[in-house]
Amino acid sequence: MTNGFPSGFTWGAATASYQVEGAVSADGRGPSIWDTFAHTPGKIADGTNGDVADDHYHRFEDDIRLLADLGLNAYRFSIAWPRIMPGGVLNQAGLDFYRRLAEACLANGVTPYATLYHWDLPQPLEDAGGWLVRDTALRFRDYAVAVHDGLSDVVKHWMTLNEPWCSAFLGYGNGEHAPGRTVGADALKAAHHLLLGHGLALDAIRTEGSTYGIALNPAPIHAASDSPADRDAARRIDGLRNRLFLEPLLAGRYPADVLEDTGTTEWFAAQEADLPLIGAPLDFMGVNYYCPTTVAAPDGPISTPGPSTQPGSENVVAVDTGLPKTQMGWPIQASGLRDILVTINKLAPELPLYVTENGSAYPDVVTADGEVEDDERLDYLRQHVAVCKDLVGEGFPLKGYFAWSLLDNFEWAWGYSRRFGIVYVDYATQQRIVKKSARWLQDLLADV
């Protein structure tokens, strides 16, 4: 063990297909819900879209070499479903792209970690009902099988879904993300169908010699005070953000209080036969961590539920605790990473865990001498890596850390107005500039 981390610890950076690839019409790719959403006026804060993004589709070889030069040994990327099955039939050219990407990783000493779904549902499936209908879970299984059959010789680490909470509640609950629907408590049906898709895919693709998991975005939920009303607000948000996903995956059940809060008990009872598939053993779990949330019951009636207008969060408000914040307005509390990892470990003590996303957005600028001095991001990473170091030193089953993100990119509903990358991207020229935070990681890994 050097510098507090074992030699086998995974150090990586992550991206997502729609956020970086561009080339949205290349080689048979079809439209996704994000193509449709981003081209709908008023949906993206800066009026942009992911048509070009970082042009990673054409520049991935250089980007992977850059990642390797920084000393990182893993690349977490997502596979675009509409490249593989734009209309339900295998598009070999799309599959071939990800083979080239994985082979480039291996040629540079980088281990590929593939995520099968990072929110870019093919638009024809959304037109047929999207994640609100059970059939989409079956189609996800078919897609997963096609990808795994085509790439399992070059990709050995797989994640089924990225942040199904976002897909369900931001996509179908409050409409902030694609497909932009607001269906109230029916968004919990989307959550179930996402988890069912995970279970069906895992059951169909699991083979010896590879590892399989899922990436969630749980967060510590704190009550603003010890009052019964505030504690109940925290219980409800913790149920929606964390327990609705962790319990079926790790304990084979849905939290009864969440279903009661949302009036979905009867519907979920009819889906009980799906739980053995959803709760099948994982090889690892990915944890995307950015910040904690503190909530309270309001002093009086409120017209806008919070903190994310998800069903079941009525009469809950987010509370500003005075912590420093990133450009996203997210409070910085590195100890929250420990809190959520420990919470998951208590549910599944032997389960290997990875931090599959961790990072921060700041308004980076290029200096006159061509540098990006992102000291705030560097400090954010330093604090969270220190938490990982402590946990590993305590014998905790934490196996890896992926910074979010390798590159500045299309940041969903914020467009290009938020930069999370450890590498700066000049979107006009596609020039990459390694930021100070990336150099810090490079120096750290030189001693690992």
Query: Which CATH number goes with the domain that contains 174?
Result: 3.20.20.80
Q: What is the pLDDT of residues 103-160, one digit of tens each?
A: 999 999 999 999 999 999 999 999 999 999 999 999 999 999 999 999 999 999 999 9
| pLDDT above 70: percentage of residues in the chain | 96
Query: What whole-number distance in Å separates Cα of residue 135 and Cα of residue 141?
Result: 10
Q: Angle at the Cα of 113 (from 187 to 180), degrees rounded to 5?
A: 25
Active-site residue (options: 21, 163, 376, 411): 163
Identify whether 69 is part of a domain.
yes
Mean predicted lDDT score pLDDT of the chain: 96
Identify whether 40 is part of a domain.
yes
Q: By C-alpha distance, which of 77, 78, 80 is closest to 35?
A: 80
Average pLDDT over residues 290-310: 67
The predicted structure's pLDDT at residue 2: 61
Report which DSSP code applies to 243. I
Question: Do residues 67 and 110 touch, judged by C-beta distance below 8 A?
Answer: yes
Active-site residue (options: 21, 357, 376, 411): 357
Active site residue 176: no
Q: 227 pLDDT exceeds 90?
A: yes
Spatial CB neighbours of 93, under 8 Å, sequence gap ≥ 6: 27, 28
Q: How many CB atoms lie under 10 A from the CB of residue 31?
A: 17
Q: 261 pLDDT exceeds 80?
A: yes
pLDDT band at residue 301 under the 50/70/90 scheme? very low
Active site residue 371: no
Average pLDDT over residues 337-361: 98
pLDDT band at residue 252 under the 50/70/90 scheme? very high
pLDDT band at residue 305 under the 50/70/90 scheme? very low
Identify whether 295 is part of a domain.
yes
Average pLDDT over residues 49-61: 98
Bridge partners for 113 per DSSP: 76, 157
- For 42, 76, 170, the CA distances from 158, given in Å and listed in that order, are 35, 9, 24
Q: What is the pLDDT of residues 384-443, one digit of tens each?
A: 999 999 999 999 999 999 999 999 999 999 999 999 999 999 999 999 999 999 999 999
CB environment 247-274: b (16+ within 10 A), e (fewer): bbbbeeebbebbbebbebeeebeebeeb
pLDDT band at residue 1 under the 50/70/90 scheme? low
Report which DSSP code applies to 330. P
Query: What whole-number distance in Å separates Cα of residue 344 and Cα of residue 287?
Result: 9
Name the residue with higher pLDDT: 419 or 302: 419
The predicted structure's pLDDT at residue 448: 67
Q: What is the pLDDT of residues 4-24, one digit of tens each?
A: 899 999 999 999 999 999 999
Bridge partners for 161 per DSSP: 117
State pTM to two decimals.
0.97
Identify whether 387 is part of a domain.
yes
The predicted structure's pLDDT at residue 310: 63
Judging by DSSP bridges, how do beta strands 221-223 and 284-288 pair with one another? unpaired
Average pLDDT over residues 208-214: 98
Identify whether 156 is part of a domain.
yes
Q: What is the pLDDT of residues 152-207, one digit of tens each?
A: 999 999 999 999 999 999 999 999 999 999 999 999 999 999 999 999 999 999 99
Q: 447 pLDDT exceeds 90?
A: no
Q: 25 pLDDT exceeds 70?
A: yes
Range of the domain at 125: 10-446
Identify whether 3 is part of a domain.
no
Residues composing the chain: 448
Q: How many CB atoms lie under 10 A from the CB of residue 384?
A: 25
pLDDT band at residue 3 under the 50/70/90 scheme? confident
Rg, Å, the chain Cα set: 21
Greatest alpha-carbon pair distance for the chain in Å reads 63
The predicted structure's pLDDT at residue 315: 77
The predicted structure's pLDDT at residue 298: 87
Domain count, the chain: 1
The predicted structure's pLDDT at residue 400: 98
Identify whether 5 is part of a domain.
no
Average pLDDT over residues 43-66: 98
